[in-house]
Amino acid sequence: MTPTRASEREVAIRAVRAAATACRSVQKGYLAKGTLEKKDKSPVTVADFASQAIICASLEVALPDDPIVGEEDADTLRLDEQETIRNAVVQHVRTVIGDDLSDDQVLGWIDRGGSTGAEGRYWTLDPIDGTKGFLRMEQYAIALALIEDNQVILGVLGCPNLMSNDSIGSLFVAERGQGTLLLPLTDEGTSPGKRIRVSQIVSPADARFCESVESGHSNQNTAQKIARRLGITAESLRMDSQCKYATVAQGSAQIYLRVPTSAVYREKIWDHAAGMLVVEEAGGKVTDVIGRPLDFTHGRQLEKNSGIVATNGLIHNSVVDAVRQELAPK
């Protein structure tokens, strides 16, 4: 049976909510001793692995033919010296899915994220976007997006620590051509959600920046210069993860800027696919720093793009012009 867009949406929502349950559980009881370091020195936690396993398992049951482009793999967990962390990952997945799971099942689900993407239909997943924010007990996101023929058509962002509608924990769901909905993260289908829209600010000088906490993720000195070019005086809102996209989508900020820190670095598709659609379907606009649409035709990276500019749309051209001027050779 061919899946409907509604069924795909419900599968994605349930998967992200289930993963969020595991992530919160890890934060409560296993955070300090459950972290590894990748080759690029970035951290990866028990929650990263458990979240990816849970979401990949959910997609495997409902949509078994769909490839998944995920951030993590289970190679490190298979090492003898990582037995303690491997056991913790398996236990957290069992708590959410079922007690009768084997280690190999859980590790296999993590490895389902090994697709290269680039063609046809596939999902892209960041099981915890903003791991350093997660470790600081601040903002992080669980980001899942469906891509068909190089176009993002469904995006789900779970933001466990983001306050919305007077509750902690927010779920943003965007469908191509259908708008963006805000739902409670822990709701099990009883809420229809609230349609959200970007801010209607039309003067760049009245806007507020949203940018990364980590200076290694975006050139913050250049961002400050761009803000001055635009006449912006408001202090920037700094947070980790694709929660920045959600913040622009619901109008709490008008600009998310990710200025490249390296001429050769390319963004990963899982870091932007879901958030991009959340902003666009809320009425905003997302391009790279020279105004090109994000190009998902090159596998796991945005090979033809550099940096990110996400805005409420009304001030997008002005922001891109300011970025171009600041980045132009002096």
Which residues are known to be catalytic?
48, 131
Asked if 329 and 295 count as a contact pair (C-beta separation under 8 A), the reply is no
Residue 263's Cβ-count burial label (10 Å; 0-12, 13-18, 19+) is: exposed
CB environment 39-55: b (16+ within 10 A), e (fewer): eeeeebbbbbbbbbbbb
Distance in angstroms (rounded) separating the CA atoms of residues 67 and 117: 7
Note the residue count of the chain: 330
And the tokens for 237?
Answer: 């809102």
- Which residues are CB-contacts of 65 (< 8 A; sequence separation ≥ 6)? none
Cα–Cα distance, 113 to 117 (Å, whole number): 10
Cβ–Cβ under 8 Å, residues 43 and 36:
yes
Which residues fall within 8 angstroms of residue 259, CB to CB, at 6 or more apart?
Answer: 218, 219, 220, 222, 223, 226, 289, 307, 323, 327
Q: How far apart are CA 16 and CA 183, in angstroms?
A: 12
Give the 3-state DSSP-derived string for 286-310, with helices as H, strands as E and coil as C: EECCCCCCCCCCCCCECCCCCCEEE
Asked if 30 contacts 46 with a C-beta cutoff of 8 angstroms, the reply is yes
Q: Are strands 209-211 and 68-70 parallel, antiparallel or unpaired?
A: unpaired
